[in-house]
Amino acid sequence: MAFDADEEILQDFLIEAGEILEKLSEQLVDLEQHPDDSDLLNAIFRGFHTVKGGAGFLQLDALVNCCHSAENVFDILRNHKRKVTPELMDVVLQGLDNVNAMFEQVRNREELTPAPASLIAALDALAVPESDTPAPPPVELPGEAPAPETQDQGDITDEEFEKLLDAIADDKAQAPTQPDATEQATEPASETGGDEITDDEFEALLDQLHGKGKFAAPDAIETEGAGANSGDQPAGNESSDLITDDEFERLLDELHGKGGGPGAKPDPSGTSQPGTGASSEPAPEPSAKAEPIPAPALAAKTAAPAREAAPVGETTVRVDTKRLDDIMNMVGELVLVRNRLQRLGSQSEDEHMHKAVANLDVVTTDLQAAVMQTRMQPIKKVFGRFPRVVRDLARNLKKEVSLMMHGEETDLDKNLVEALADPLVHLVRNSVDHGIEGPDIREAAGKSRAGTVTLSAQQEGDHILLSIADDGGGMDPDVLRRKAVEKGLYDQDAADRLTDNECFNLIFAAGFSTKEQISDVSGRGVGMDVVKNRIAQLNGQISIESALGKGTKIIIKVPLTLAIMPTLMIMLGEQSFALPLVNVVEIFHLDLTKTNMVDGRECIVVRDKVFPLFHIKRWLVHDEEARKEVDNAHVVIVAMGTKQVGFVVDQLVGQEEVVIKPLGRALQGTPGMAGATITGDGRIALIIDVPSLLQHYG
């Protein structure tokens, strides 16, 4: 293991291999559905080969061995010598798991744990053709180890090229009848062991491979062709200046064996040997001794076409995420200054002041959007792991499940992508386990044997909507009511009054489960309450729709970013508070003398809907004078999932974008508070955490 290698090279490997391994998980599951897809087989083969190459360069031998064994399996598969089966895919996916585990160890600079010997043996067993007839051995250069992974590749590694030079030098040492130039090339090559090759040796090698005089100087060719004065006329043979694509491919064939170069056709005779390639195209007999072109000139001529097109500069730059977070914090401070100037500008009658503040507002908004965009990542970063999750779980539960994904390119904040990973995994597993029925049950109900889980994402304003839907059996409200009574969450009368949606939301209660048997997948009632709390921490909402016999749909709504939050600024007495706008449903003015009492709780009726009413000033303001009751007040209806309540507030200030600042150490953990911010008038306002506030006080 060579972690002392160049840090930049290691980082390049981590980025490239990380992207490849993310794709491989999805590609392998896709392959099981489309086992005859040649493009997919080749893509998977190249993925393992690329990771192996990078790991080999860093001397990560354990990772190289596992990738090599997996690569050999796909070499057999893409040559149609074995069929893709679920059992084969189980072994390959286990191999990928070990590769991923070792990759994480590389990322953490830990010693690699090699894959189990039994797994390597199983992969090697699958790398043998199913047919009893052994595959014909590939054409090899003397002393070269077989390298099936390079037969269809257009390039070779430096180590392979050096071995080829050594092998050719050994051949030439055994053939004393070669021309003088060859003898000159053989002697130094054997002395240096193939580590270096001089210009003269390289020219002699080209002469031997391509025929004497193929790369001769223009004057020699002119002398041969017409016997004229070669110094007065340009070369008549274009091949003396440039090497064509066909010639380059033939050169690769001679070095690497037939089929080694791009576009090369296999040699049916299988008798081609290095050093004999010139026999297929006889070399001209020069009338004068051909002098080789100096190596720098030859390099310049062969490189000429590449210089015709202007080189494309790098269009991306790697930036540490901490630097992006720092920039985002500075933009947040700029937003606070902008809000302050807007408030001061509104109090001024200076027209130039108004224009300057308006311009600052536009620039700040654009800058904020641009910086937020740099932090955005596609939700595919999370979605990419679900094909494997669904495949493994369905196979474990003996179910047939297909996964459909929509809106994978929807962007949201990097921190949200990471935070949503675990809740979404749990919800998808829940849909496969609880939602989708067994194949026989589905067939008896008139459905297809295979169930479908649909995962989708879309942007709606400044929020992202995520949904996990299945076409399974749905949820039975009566069963949920019975379970709620059994677990003591409600008495029978209260349970009977629950609406169907309220029954569905019971699954978010801690310890609530409808499973009769506990398994390693589910049944303990742990998980859905954690999911709900996690979504609430992200200032999001979660709701459930279900129809018995048709399926269930879980909808999650989260903000695009956590850094800057749109809020509704309110006043309680003389103190400012911020309500996250995502929770606000509607606002209206209310005569507090017209309220009703239901089950001992003050309520209001709006459009035939009953809302519990809470005077949050009694909870948050300790000034007795400010807590005196009033007859008229503003009511803000806020929502948490499917539940809606009314908050009584003294004054509405308006909508304002705020930057969330963490509470100081003395105030951390204060119930109902998500953080603090600085308002446009320069005062500090606390940001209300609606679910936490109701849980603690309500």
**What pLDDT shows up at residue 453?**
93
Task: Reply yes or no on whether the pLDDT at 20 is more than 80.
Answer: yes
Task: Reply yes or no on whether the pLDDT at 469 is more than 90.
Answer: yes
Rounded to whole angstroms, the Cα distance separating 224 from 211 reads 15
Greater pLDDT, 454 or 368: 454
**What pLDDT shows up at residue 233?**
45
**What pLDDT shows up at residue 185?**
39
Closest CA to 94 of 124, 128, 113, 120: 120
Give the DSSP H/E element, type plus range, for residue 65: helix 61-78
Average pLDDT over residues 275-284: 42
pLDDT tens digits for range 101-120: 999 888 888 888 888 999 99
Task: Reply yes or no on whether the pLDDT at 191 is more than 50.
Answer: no
Residue in the block written with tokens 């507090």: 592
The DSSP code sequence of 183-248 is: HHHHHHHHHHTTS---HHHHHHHHHHHH-TTTTB-HHHHHHHHT-S-TTTS--S-GGGT---HHHH
**What pLDDT shows up at residue 382?**
85
321-374 domain in CATH 1.10.10? no
- How far CA 680 is from CA of 342, 344, 553, 564, 634, in Å, comes to 7, 8, 41, 15, 22
Average pLDDT over residues 50-70: 88
> CATH number of the domain at 564-697, please?
2.40.50.180
Greater pLDDT, 591 or 388: 388
**What pLDDT shows up at residue 641?**
64
Task: Reply yes or no on whether the pLDDT at 183 is more than 50.
Answer: no
Domain limits, the chain:
7-135, 321-374, 378-559, 564-697
Average pLDDT over residues 245-264: 60
pLDDT tens digits for range 216-235: 444 444 444 444 444 444 44
Query: At 466, is the pLDDT very low, low, confident or very high (cuts 50, 70, 90)?
Result: very high
Task: Reply yes or no on whether the pLDDT at 479 is more than 80.
Answer: yes
> For the ranges 204-208, 402-406, 661-665, which has the lowest average pLDDT?
204-208
Task: Reply yes or no on whether the pLDDT at 156 is more than 70.
Answer: no
Query: At 640, is the pLDDT very low, low, confident or very high (cuts 50, 70, 90)?
Result: confident
- How far CA 262 is from CA of 246, 249, 265, in Å, comes to 10, 7, 9
Task: Reply yes or no on whether the pLDDT at 18 is more than 80.
Answer: yes
7-135 domain in CATH 1.20.1050.10? no
The rounded mean pLDDT for the chain is 75
CATH architecture of 378-559: 2-Layer Sandwich (3.30)
Average pLDDT over residues 469-487: 88
**What pLDDT shows up at residue 209?**
63
Query: At 506, is the pLDDT very low, low, confident or very high (cuts 50, 70, 90)?
Result: confident
Query: At 154, is the pLDDT very low, low, confident or very high (cuts 50, 70, 90)?
Result: very low
Query: At 552, is the pLDDT very low, low, confident or very high (cuts 50, 70, 90)?
Result: very high
Closest CA to 14 of 78, 45, 60: 60
Rounded to whole angstroms, the Cα distance separating 310 from 423 reads 48
Percent of the chain with pLDDT over 90: 7
Task: Reply yes or no on whether the pLDDT at 213 is more than 60.
Answer: no
pLDDT tens digits for range 619-628: 777 655 555 5
CB atoms within 10 A of CB 332: 19
**What pLDDT shows up at residue 223?**
41
pLDDT tens digits for range 280-339: 444 444 444 444 444 444 434 444 444 445 555 567 777 777 888 888 888 888 888 888
Rounded to whole angstroms, the Cα distance separating 338 from 321 reads 25
C-alpha radius of gyration, the chain, whole number = 36
Task: Reply yes or no on whether the pLDDT at 349 is more than 50.
Answer: yes
Average pLDDT over residues 174-187: 44
Task: Reply yes or no on whether the pLDDT at 563 is more than 80.
Answer: no
Average pLDDT over residues 544-565: 85
- How far CA 61 is from CA of 8, 58, 121, 383, 441, in Å, comes to 20, 9, 16, 31, 49
Rounded to whole angstroms, the Cα distance separating 424 from 385 reads 10
Task: Reply yes or no on whether the pLDDT at 602 is more than 70.
Answer: yes
Task: Reply yes or no on whether the pLDDT at 635 is more than 70.
Answer: yes
Question: What's the pTM?
Answer: 0.59
Q: Which of 149-158, 325-334, 656-665 shows the highest mean pLDDT? A: 325-334
Closest CA to 204 of 166, 245, 169, 228: 169
**Phi then psi dihedrals of residue 52, to 5 deg:** -65, -40
- Yes or no: say if 139 and 267 are a contact pair by the CB < 8 Å rule: yes
- Yes or no: say if 505 and 544 are a contact pair by the CB < 8 Å rule: yes
Average pLDDT over residues 656-676: 78
> For the ranges 137-151, 310-324, 338-352, 385-399, which has the lowest average pLDDT?
137-151
Rounded to whole angstroms, the Cα distance separating 617 from 623 reads 10
**What pLDDT shows up at residue 318?**
75
